[in-house]
Amino acid sequence: MTIDELLEGIRAELAIKIFGDDIEILKRKADEVAQVIKGIKGAVDVQPAQISGTPQLRIRVNRSTIAKYGINVADVQEVVSTAIGGVSVGEIFEGIKRFNIYVRFAPEFRSTKEEISNILIPTPDGSQLPLAQLATIEEIVGPRQITRENNQRFITVQCNVEGRDIGSFVAEGKRLLADKINLPPGYLITWGGQFKLQQEANRRLAIVIPITLFLVFVLLFSSFGILRDSVLILLNIPFALVGGIIALWFTGQNLSVPSSVGFIALFGIALENAMVLVTYYNQMLKKGIPVQEVVVKGATRRLRPVLMTAITTALGLLPLLFATGTGSRVQRPLAIVVIGGLVTSTIATMIILPLLYRWFKKKMV
């Protein structure tokens, strides 16, 4: 919730922002958007921002009237601001502490509409006129806050998503809003919150992961010096990927940023186990042992190290898997992906990888 508030200023997963100039139109469109969003499967806690409901006193300066007396608008605003809000006229010191001295009207002269109407405005000829004679003063129910982004007003509709992934929810929401909400010219709708964070993370991962896999391949090739061995080790990654996806499906989780990070960690473990087995195979092969005997004995002798790596990693992630407190929404998807992927990658390492190694080596012969 803290991350959500830092992202969009709300305590929800999604923030639908409506940009425009008129507060009343923004409020009306926000209510319409909220009604549409409530009808989408998975939408919970849908709430438009409450921006109205604050009693206010609006003072409209009559420009033609003040022009007759030679008074500027700034002069009226300065008197009203000083009388009601106060103005700093100096400072007072108490040791090393420093406090501003503010001067304004006493509460009994500024707490009601009638008292504010009687504030005297000086004229250039030295006379004074009451504010009510120079401006229209009315009580209204105005907005409690006006939020801006990039110098443009906006209002937010917040909601959470349960039982489905945010990506499909936003796609359906965009389609429905485009069909049912008619925005005046100059108004637009944007989606933010965790969806925005997820999209940015996915764009980064789409660049980082291929580069990382390429660098891993270069390191493997520089270590083994054989292209087929490097490709054989990398083939363990798809098997790990299958296990992570099955684990997400089985537990009802969706692909998210934490689960994507879990896949990256899983790839590293899968590559490590494959490297352990292929390295031992090559050592045995250099001793002149036949390929068939190499794959059988190598898999048998390296079963314990591979299982130790997988089991210790899984045991270390069990507390995250069953976490329910603060941070569990981030920890659980990561642990699910890694543990599920370890199962399939370990099976692939000990069963499929030996078969592929044998096939590769026979091709070389």
Tens-digit pLDDT profile for residues 322-342: 777 666 677 788 888 888 888
- 250 and 326 housed in the same domain: yes
Whether 202 maps to a domain, the answer reads no
For the chain, the domain total comes to 3
**pLDDT above 50: residue 11:** yes
What is the rounded average pLDDT of the residues 231-252?
85
Domain containing residue 290: 226-364
- 284 and 334 housed in the same domain: yes
Q: How far is CA 215 from CA 147, 267, 273, 317, 324, in A?
A: 46, 13, 18, 27, 37
Question: CATH no. for residue 161?
Answer: 3.30.70.1440
Task: Grade residue 364 by pLDDT with cuts at 50, 70 and 90.
Answer: low
**pLDDT above 60: residue 1:** no
Task: Grade residue 365 by pLDDT with cuts at 50, 70 and 90.
Answer: very low
**pLDDT above 80: residue 173:** yes
Task: Grade residue 3 by pLDDT with cuts at 50, 70 and 90.
Answer: low
Q: Report pLDDT for 5.
A: 52
How many other β-carbons are positioned within 10 Å of the β-carbon of residue 356? 17
Q: Report pLDDT for 42.
A: 82
- Mean of per-residue pLDDT scores for the chain: 83
**pLDDT above 70: residue 117:** yes
- 277 and 183 housed in the same domain: no
**pLDDT above 60: residue 286:** yes
- 308 and 335 housed in the same domain: yes
